[in-house]
Amino acid sequence: MPIAWTAEQIIALAPDPSSAKAGSALANRSKWLALGCSARALWGACQGSGKNPYQTQIDLSEPAFQCSCPSRKFPCKHGLGLFLLFVAQEAAFTKQEPPTWVGEWLVKRDARAEQRVKKEESEERNVDPNAHLKRAEQRARKVEQGIVELQQWLRDLVRQGLAAAQTKPYQFWEAQAARLVDAQAAGLARMLRQMAGLAASGEGWQHRLLERLSRLQLLLEGYQRLDSLPFETQADIRQLIGWNPVQEELLAQDGVRDTWLVLGQRVYEEEKLRAQRSWLYGCESRRSALLLQFAFGRDNFDITVLAGLGLEAELVFFPSAYPLRALLKQRGEINKAFDAEFSAASVLEIYEARAAALARNPWLELLPVTLSAVTPLRVNEQWLVQDAKGKSLRLSKQFDKGWELLALSGGRALQLFGEWNGEQLFPLSVWVEGKFFRLS
């Protein structure tokens, strides 16, 4: 499996900067004993502060890590160090059959993957259809009540005026959001929490707040006449309110098999969780997909995908009028750092794409976009990118790698991938002379 792993990709797997540092320091041949590798795995023993050396192993097919050290970070510094060392000095690893301790772990991993599939199948069979239906009805009633209350709250808000709302404390929003959580409408609660900070967001806040409120109103209207809407739009509305599709049901469906390129990733905090968006692009299907994962604290995300690599996989999309979010049903080989051709757009084209997407899903917030040839520029302390036709796009104020972007470009056009919210672009990766760089 000749993949050009890069140190940069591996560093990106570190759960925090101190692990990255410690891992880099361990990427040193003299720290390791019995280094070995097979087509699928890497292993080695690292002398730490304990009595016996730690046994560290990596399943390259994901990659997945395992180490006998007591660290609760994942991957631990030994895992990162071993991987970094492999990238730097592959020759230090003896090519051989995995020793027993590695072999057993790999077998266990395979068995677990099989079990997961079986379990999902068996659970499906075990569901008591009546009890299931009953629970669903109960929830629907609760949500219904929550929505009636929210509608009244919204009306009062506009009746009394947004200026009055601006003087209210955060608790004003939070209390209503909490009631929605109780009503099992977590999606609506999330939308309210996002609005809570808008009143204090500076110039133009009233525009931003009314826009959000009206979008929420549109959602409530949509829910009231749910049955009259197309199935996909129903699905969008139900997901936004807080009904997550049952993963097992989704995974039972046939997905889209393709070589999926991981174009970019962004990790952010959401309600005390660490969330990760990975944006994928199918080489054959020419579709974009979003893998969304959550983790507590320093836990690692369930599945490891690395920006800059291609992945043979089957994805199942959530039902939507503009399907983006997907689940990974099955993954195969990781192949090549990608240089595949894929469609990229001009600035004007991504505006058109967004209008078309909104026509299908008016609540859509982020659109993944690849701009084919744009030049980064700094105007009045603000970063922009401009295409050959002179059309420009503002970069997000939260984007803090503007100078790095400019340094990579050298004043020339580059291909850029990012998240586009209709106003600002948040760049996640770029290609310079065919070489991929992650910016996040």
Partner 1 sequence: MTNLWQDLVTNALLGTERKAFALAQTGGALGELLNRLEGADQALLLLQGAAIVALHQQAGRVPIDVEIPALSFCEADEVPACSERAAQHLALMLSGEYRDALVEWLKALAEAGKRVNAMLLPSLLNYAAANKIFRPLILPVIGRRGVWLALQNPEWSFVTSATLAAEIWQTGNAEDRLGALKQLRQDNPALALEWLSASWPQEAPPDRARFIEALQINVSMADEEFLENALDDKRKEVRRAAAEMLARLPPSRLCQRMLERASRLIEHKSGLRSRFDITLPEACDKAMARDGIDAASPFSQANDKLGQRGWWLAQILGAVPLEVWRKRWKISTAEMLKLSDKNEWQSALMLAWFNAAQRFRDEAMAEALLKIIVGKETPLFSPLPLVGLLPLPRREQVIGDLLKALGNKEQGKGAVMALIGYAIHQWSAGFTRLVLEHARQRIKADDRGWFYALRTWSYFMSPTLALEEVMKWKPQLEEYETKYAGEHIEAPLRFRCEMLEELRRGT
Which stretches of the chain bind partner 1, using CB under 8 A?
A: 6-8, 11, 17, 21, 24-25, 28, 30-31, 49, 84, 87-88, 154-164, 206-207, 210-211, 213-215, 217-218, 221, 347-348, 351, 354-355, 358-359, 362, 375, 377-379, 384, 386, 390-394, 403-404, 406-408, 410-412, 422, 432, 437
Q: Distance between CA atoms of 346 and 300, rounded to whole angstroms?
A: 36
Give the HSE-up count for residue 92: Cα atoms under 13 Å, Cβ half-sphere: 20
Nearer to partner 1, 77 or 331 (CB): 77
C-beta separation of 329 from 343 below 8 A: no
What is the helix (H) or strand (E) element at residue 55, kind and residue range? strand 54-59
CB of 428 to partner 1, least distance (A): 14
Nearer to partner 1, 65 or 420 (CB): 420
Nearer to partner 1, 189 or 385 (CB): 385
Nearer to partner 1, 58 or 347 (CB): 347
Nearer to partner 1, 114 or 156 (CB): 156
CB of 158 to partner 1, least distance (A): 4
C-beta separation of 37 from 86 below 8 A: yes
Long-range CB contact pairs, 239-245, < 8 A, 24+:
239/187, 239/318, 239/320, 240/187, 240/188, 240/191, 240/363, 241/143, 241/147, 241/185, 241/187, 241/188, 242/143, 242/184, 242/185, 242/186, 242/187, 242/188, 242/189, 243/187, 245/318, 245/319
CB of 416 to partner 1, least distance (A): 15
Q: Distance between CA atoms of 75 and 86, rounded to whole angstroms?
A: 16
Nearer to partner 1, 103 or 362 (CB): 362
Angle at 355 between CA 352 and CA 358, to 5 degrees: 150
CB of 35 to partner 1, least distance (A): 16
Nearer to partner 1, 136 or 210 (CB): 210
Nearer to partner 1, 336 or 360 (CB): 360
Q: Which of 370, 349, 379 is nearest to 414 (CA)?
A: 370
The partner residues of 278 in beta bridges, in order of sequence, read 265, 291
Q: Distance between CA atoms of 107 and 322, rounded to whole angstroms?
A: 39
Ranges of H-type helices in 127-161: 129-160
Name every residue whose Cβ is closer than 8 Å to that of residue 23 and which is 6 or more positions away in sequence: 10, 11, 14, 77, 78, 79, 80, 81, 83, 84
Q: How far is CA 352 from CA 32, 43, 136, 347, 366, in A?
A: 55, 50, 39, 9, 14
CB of 10 to partner 1, least distance (A): 10
CB of 149 to partner 1, least distance (A): 15
| Radius of gyration in angstroms for the set of CA atoms belonging to the chain, rounded to a whole number | 24
C-beta separation of 253 from 271 below 8 A: no
CB of 397 to partner 1, least distance (A): 16
Nearer to partner 1, 109 or 208 (CB): 208
Nearer to partner 1, 113 or 158 (CB): 158
C-beta separation of 327 from 247 below 8 A: yes
CB of 84 to partner 1, least distance (A): 8
CB of 30 to partner 1, least distance (A): 7
CB of 171 to partner 1, least distance (A): 21
C-beta separation of 404 from 358 below 8 A: no
Other residues' Cβ atoms within 10 Å of the Cβ of residue 134 = 11
The partner residues of 419 in beta bridges, in order of sequence, read 368, 426
Nearer to partner 1, 24 or 234 (CB): 24
Which amino acid is residue 56, in one-letter code? T
CB of 408 to partner 1, least distance (A): 5
